[in-house]
Structure 1
Amino acid sequence: MSALIALGFLALMLGAVLGYAAVRFRVQGNPLVDQINSILPQTQCGQCGYPGCKPYAEAIANGDEINKCPPGGDEGIKALAALLDRKVVPLDEEREPSEGKRVAYIREDECIGCTKCIQVCPVDAIVGAPKLMHTVIVTECTGCDLCVPVCPVDCIDMPFVEKAPDDWQWPQPHATDIIPIKWVQ
């Protein structure tokens, strides 16, 4: 019994020391990196050339370009430019396909329902159940290609999706396009 009390007391003391050390020696992160990271879409897709959104946020804070995130799109670039007081630039041509948006397409008759694609999809665009066919929610897919290499039966394609007339929207004006009205008295 005394051994259990001694071990409990030792665990309590070590816990207190670790708690004190965590508070005393806490490393402060860069608040700018946290702000940049909150703007990024958190898909962790790697399309920017970095392994996730946090490393890309750190690179942006260190001077890297703000136009490497296809899932963030123009809205993300505009928000980053406003935060960092940089010029708005179009998405990097290397990361933007000229044919349009790519999305995953699962050939359902070949799908074995292994769920490996569901597990790696960063935006939960793939739905299905074990041992049943899977499908992709096209409006949610960012085209990151993470599902393609994990498919054991190679039933996932990444075709380009053409814009349909009902997908079209009026272009949003940029802040620089708005001309202030001066009232003359």
Structure 2
Amino acid sequence: MGARDADALVERVDRLLPQTQCGQCGYAGCRPYAQAMAAGEAGVDRCPPGGDAGARALAKLLGVPPRAYDRSLGEHHPSEVALVVEADCIGCTKCIQACPVDAIVGGSKRMHVVLEPLCTGCRLCVPACPVDCIVMLPAPGPQGAVQAEQTRSTS
């Protein structure tokens, strides 16, 4: 496979991933995981946010046997977004530092806000919060590449 073909495969694999950038797969984000799968260095079963449907879609694309996602890496949750409970936020900035996609804004000792369209639902902000003022809510619409790809293919 040439470099151009390899790059195209990485792009296709990456588009199927939910883009949470959560790191539960053991890679620094969705793109490095996609590169490892395209190179045959990682299995299709390492993405809890993608769940079994994501693992099946990846297996089909890569021409490998389908496998359920590895539940030891984390739970699969429906698409979610974070919400900061304003009354409880102390403005510590720990959630801002934990967010891999810069979806949380706010200043030190000021209330923070999640920019919903940017939030991937990775949940990394939740354990970072010392006062437990972040809750996860169902996403308002299709979120993540697997859901977006399914939406495109049925349209």
> TM-score normalised to the size of structure 1?
0.50
2:91 aligned residue? 113
Whole-angstrom distance in 1 between the partners of 2:75 and 2:21: 19
Q: Which of 24, 28, 50 is the aligned partner of 2:27?
A: 50
Greater relative contact order (CA < 8 Å, ≥ 6 in sequence) = 2
Letter aligned with residue 155 of structure 1: V
- Partners of 1:121 and 1:88 in 2: how far apart? 31
Q: RMSD over aligned Cα, in angstroms?
A: 3.7
Q: Provide Cα deviations, 1:115-172, integer angstroms capped at 9, x if missing partner.
A: 552464346775x6542254797xx6634425533x4xx12378899xxxxxxxxxxx
Partner residue of 2:140? Answer: none
Residue ranges of structure 1 left out of the alignment (5+ in a row): 1-27, 162-185
Q: Work out the CA distance in 1 between the residues paired with 2:136 and 2:96.
A: 21
The one-letter code matched in structure 2 to 1:66 is V
Aligned mates of 1:157, 1:90 — CA distance in 2: 33
Amino acid at match of 2:35: E
- Contact 1:103–1:158 (8 Å) recurs in 2: no
| Structure 2 residue corresponding to 1:75, chosen from 29, 53, 66 | 53
Per-residue displacement from partner, 1:30-59 (whole Å, max 9, x unpaired)? 232222122112222101111111211122
Q: What residue number does 2:36 align with?
A: 59
Return 74-83 or 28-37, whichever deviates more.
28-37
Bigger share in helix:
2
Q: For residues 1-185 of structure 1, what are the structure 2 equivalents within 5 Å? A: 28=3, 30-31=6-7, 32-61=9-38, 62-97=40-75, 108-118=86-96, 120-122=98-100, 129-130=106-107, 131-132=110-111, 134=113, 142-146=121-125, 148-149=127-128, 151=129, 154-156=130-132
Q: Which amino acid aligns with 2:46?
A: K
User: Which secondary structure state, in structure 2, belongs to the residue aligned with residue 94 of structure 1?
Assistant: helix
Q: Is the 8 A contact 1:111 1:134 kept in 2?
A: no
Instruction: Quote the Cα distance in structure 2 between the aligned partners of 1:50 and 1:113.
Output: 29
Q: Which runs of 5+ in 2 are unaligned?
A: 138-155
CA deviation map 1:8-29 (0-9, x unaligned): xxxxxxxxxxxxxxxxxxxx46
Cα distance between partner residues in 1 of 2:123 and 2:53 = 18
Which structure has the greater CA radius of gyration?
1
> What's the % identity of the aligned pairs?
41
Q: Report SS of the residue matched to 2:111.
A: coil
Contact 2:25–2:33 (CA under 8 A) maintained in structure 1: yes
CA distance in 1 between counterparts of 2:134 and 2:70 reads 20
